[in-house]
Structure 1
């Protein structure tokens, strides 16, 4: 099975899990809204149809931009399951006080927006001010520019400075409360009812959400935007080198 087909299958599995979790948590257990699983279902259809169309139309090709698009869909499916569903769905749909709802949504939106900007800035700096492009994209005299994915990733890591979505003080707090995850839901239940477990998942899942959205931005800029720019500037196709 090709890598693109594996990504399509993985996207399907992850989005199905998102639908199941959204239905079980917000429609069956809390019985507050059907919108979470319906939104997840629409995203599942969009991810699966979009990646399948790309795979069917360009699956036999080797353009890096197509490979990057399909990979970005897979990362988005992962981000939806581990970022949007546990954090944003909780603050959007759970039966919690309005102050907590809007504070949580504002915090998540501001942090996500800032993180996207920070990652995009660092990636663009790596592309424009280091030797990454010259070292990773090779022209061998056959009219195409080749990019070997694994080698390119290693070269990128050497030049890229990855910020941490979890500062050390906050990391210590997370690590300190992690052993008590089985007890915390019971404690929080007294204040938030059955929302306690979901609140813990939202709080502990926010750093994972930021890391995944950063990975998505990085994947999209390096394997979609950059090769399209190179193709436009050099008038050559950028392909994945096996």
Structure 2
């Protein structure tokens, strides 16, 4: 074993340590606000905070198990899996808690509930499919794989920061919504926050949740696209290279 290999950090453990605060804060924050809003204030259901607590435990447990099972292996796909879980924890807060919880649990007329719920599902699936198509185009039709994955006699090596920067230069991804949508969102949200406080405490809770839902949807779409990108580039692609070339793909940062 060479001196440089001896000094190589345990990339999987480093990724786990960086992901742990994110995996705790975002789903736990969703669980706490869910308890205050849906179980306490609106008194409609205890399921939102229980689901949030379960997601928190899973997001914390799985990376630690992976880091113990593959300790010091520096396999890229394991690092990608841990990073995917951290990205999902952020999507859970902005997408599941902020948007879908509102249309599933908040009191409202079915005429408002179902279009919002089904529309959110449709938008999320559409954006995930669009992101997958864009990422696969970058993988299969550009020089990304040859330039980002250095092939040696016994393995492939991937430098995370350099690889991500190269992908950003080669990938062409649209924004989830045009700028006019952002202007409308940032105009409506403060209006509902103020109006909710002026009318009543009950409407105030609904107003805050509505504002979170409106703000959460475009952010959740961005995280959904990021999750698709991380999975395809850092999990699916390394596994494919391992199967085709019988070589592991390692992180060398």
Name the counterpart of 1:108.
120
Answer yes or no: is 1:232 the counterpart of 2:240. Answer: no
By how many angstroms is 1:192 displaced? 5.1
- C-alpha change, 1:107 and 1:158, in structure 2 (3 Å) is same
Answer yes or no: is 1:139 the counterpart of 2:159. Answer: no
Question: 185-194 vs 197-206, which deviates more?
Answer: 185-194
By how many angstroms is 1:137 displaced? 0.3
Is contact 2:80–2:234 with CA below 8 Å preserved after alignment? yes
Name the counterpart of 2:64.
52
Is contact 2:150–2:158 with CA below 8 Å preserved after alignment? yes
- C-alpha change, 1:189 and 1:110, in structure 2 (3 Å) is farther
Matching of residues 174-185 of structure 1 within 5 Å: 174-177=185-188, 180=191, 182-185=193-196
- C-alpha change, 1:170 and 1:75, in structure 2 (3 Å) is same
Name the counterpart of 2:162.
151
Q: Deviations over 1:51-85 (max 9, x none)?
A: 11112211322000000000000000111012110
Match of 1:88 among 70, 85, 100: 100
Paired with 1:119 and 1:186, the residues of 2 have a C-alpha distance of: 39
- C-alpha change, 1:35 and 1:200, in structure 2 (3 Å) is same
Q: Deviations over 1:21-79 (max 9, x none)?
A: 11111111111100101111221222222111112211322000000000000000111
Which sections of structure 1, spanning at least 5 residues, go unmatched?
Answer: none
Report the 3-state secondary structure (helix = DSSP H, G, I; strand = E; otherwise coil) of the residue aligned with 2:237: helix
By how many angstroms is 1:180 displaced? 3.9
Name the counterpart of 1:11.
23
By how many angstroms is 1:190 displaced? 9.8
Paired with 1:55 and 1:199, the residues of 2 have a C-alpha distance of: 39
Is contact 1:26–1:34 with CA below 8 Å preserved after alignment? yes
Name the counterpart of 2:79.
67
Is contact 1:185–1:200 with CA below 8 Å preserved after alignment? no
Query: Over the residues paired in the alignment, what is the CA RMSD in angstroms?
Result: 2.0
- C-alpha change, 1:85 and 1:178, in structure 2 (3 Å) is closer
By how many angstroms is 1:194 displaced? 3.2
| TM-score, normalising length: structure 2 | 0.89
Name the counterpart of 1:206.
217
Paired with 1:174 and 1:108, the residues of 2 have a C-alpha distance of: 15
Is contact 2:15–2:82 with CA below 8 Å preserved after alignment? no
Name the counterpart of 1:22.
34
- C-alpha change, 1:195 and 1:180, in structure 2 (3 Å) is closer
Answer yes or no: is 1:41 the counterpart of 2:50. Answer: no
Name the counterpart of 1:76.
88
Is contact 2:134–2:172 with CA below 8 Å preserved after alignment? yes
Is contact 1:5–1:55 with CA below 8 Å preserved after alignment? no
* Number of residue pairs matched by the alignment: 241
Name the counterpart of 1:196.
207
Is contact 1:189–1:195 with CA below 8 Å preserved after alignment? no
